[in-house]
Chain A
Amino acid sequence: MTARGRTTAFAAATLVVSMAASVLLLRHIDEMRPKGNIEDVLYLSSPKVIKHASLGFNGLMACIYWTRAVQYFGHRHFEHRGSYKELAPLLEITTALDPQLVPAYEFGASFLAPAPPSGAGEPKRAIELMEYGIRQNPENWRLYYDLAFVYYTELKDYKHAGEAFERGSRVPNAHPFMKLLAAQMQEHAGDFQTARLLWQSTYESSQQKEVKDNALEHLRCIKVDEDVMHLQSAATAFQKRTGRPPSTMWELITAMGLHGIPVDPDGNPYVMTVDGRIQVQNPDNFSFITQGLPVGYKRSERPKFHVNP
């Protein structure tokens, strides 16, 4: 090897070793230093100031702030932290920078509205965000749909949910199910049928994979809730009739005139406890079920990331 070649090889090796050493050292230094609460700091909290500071490149800044909001929420959600105090300001800055950034309203509201640990537990701010989005994009029927969803799922405010569906149904090119949902809210707001219709329409009308997956999961859970309630009421009727709970699942289904034990959407048969309670075999596989859970059940995993529509 020539002298020049040796120098090159030595310099290259030194460069690689130094770089690796500096990275390793920095990792150690990070571990030694106390972790600051940097995620909760918004150095600039005024949307107007940020808008001006972006030199007219508002669109890119909005994308950056939206990504920050997603990361902020996702990080805390997976770490099971209950506080999301910078989420609403981040979303306000994002939508002030780019009022047409529809995903920030759609997903932002579903981050804000649900109670912790699934969300920030701020349904009122979610509604404010959606109303701002509707004022900025009055021709987008999906925003009315999402607003209604917040009223329906988080506040159980079926009157306002119905009004939001009704307002959205008047938007040109609104999906026909908006009118149907508006009517359904007035008559059968709390029914499984209505919930199924809502999630079915979400699944069919959305282009986003995350939204579709979430809708599908809700539909699975509605099926479980419905099945369990149906079996449970049959078990209660059996007890009233015979003076004792059914001793086995087979005894119950025979009394119901069924030919086999009903199964959950994963194909696992429902089970009955000794005191006649109907349960699912694997409650962890159904993120949103409210029926069929074992007594004192707590989810063993961190909550799964599921957003509303």
Chain B
Amino acid sequence: MNARIAYIASNTFREAVRDRVLYNLIAFALLLSAAAVLVAQISIGIERLVVVNLGLTAVTLFGIVIAIFIGIGLVSKEIEKRTLYTVLSRPVRRWEFIVGKFFGLAGTLVVNTFFMAIGVFGALFYVAHKFTATDAYILVALYFIILEFLIICSLSLLFSSFSTPLLAAIFAFALFIIGSFADDLRGFAALSHGITRWFATAAAYLVPNFSALNVISAVAHQQSVGAQLILQNTLYALFYSTMALSGAVLIFERRNLK
């Protein structure tokens, strides 16, 4: 990573912290503490499952919301405040600006996820009174969640590079929901015929497949995740993010900023 990208990334991270993005950790901590204490009183036999399921689902949803709402404003806010012109008047290329913003947002989410992970493991220790070797699988689920964030960050940047913040947020949320149904879309494509099948298959491969990255239920039941799946998901998320980021760069490079 060149120095300019690193500088833009660190500024993006600092800006997110200044915007009190990390305050969501308080809500997360309250949610998990309440779940850990209350669930034993209102349910039976699922204390550990609730902590893992609720913890990882909350990590995902909080992160997705942050990725979208920060991501869509990264470009438009700079244009609105006219700070983008100051940045681009220096020896900074437009693509460096986009990539720097991406790494800054991704870094924010990684730090956020790190603290949330501490919360999840803390709550787990509270309900189970010990850690087992299979708890390490939760780290894999957290890693997959970070991969989801990379995809969403890049998509938010892509949409914000050509659209208004509101529309970009709608597009990104819609893609997150469609991506969660990616397996069903593929099943629908398999059942269709003719041109419908062609379009459905194309759509199924074009939308991000978030269902493949969701192993929360499996790790909650202490089931392992295969090394091959980890590798393939990593490559998939990297390629998909690169694709969306390239699209964002292409559009932003040609955008008239006057």
Contacts and interface: CB of A to CB of B under 8 A. Distances in A.
Contacts of A210: 44
A67 B42 CA distance: 7
Contact of B53 (A52, A57, A103, A106): A57
Interface string B93-123: 0000000000000000000000000000000
B253 to A, nearest CB: 34
Contacts of B50: 60, 63
B33 interface: no
Given A55-B177, A58-B217, A66 B43 contact: yes
A110 to B, nearest CB: 10
A106 B44 CA distance: 10
B57 A106 contact: no
B29 interface: no
Given A56-B180, A56-B214, A63-B49, A107 B57 contact: no
Interface string A86-129: 00000000000010111100110000000000000000000000
A94 to B, nearest CB: 10
Interface string A34-63: 000000000000000000100111111011
Chain B residues touching A, majority SS? helix
A70 interface: yes
B54 A100 contact: no
What interface size band does chain A fall in? 20 to 34
Contacts of B210: 56
Given A56-B180, A59-B220, A107-B44, A101 B57 contact: no
Interface in B56-94: 57, 60
A103 B46 contact: yes
A223 B90 CA distance: 89
Given A52-B181, A63-B49, A63-B53, A71 B42 contact: yes
Interface of A: 52, 55-60, 62-63, 66-67, 70-71, 98, 100-103, 106-107, 208, 210
Given A57-B216, A70-B43, A71-B42, 5 more contacts: A56-B214, A57-B214, A98-B217, A101-B46, A106-B45
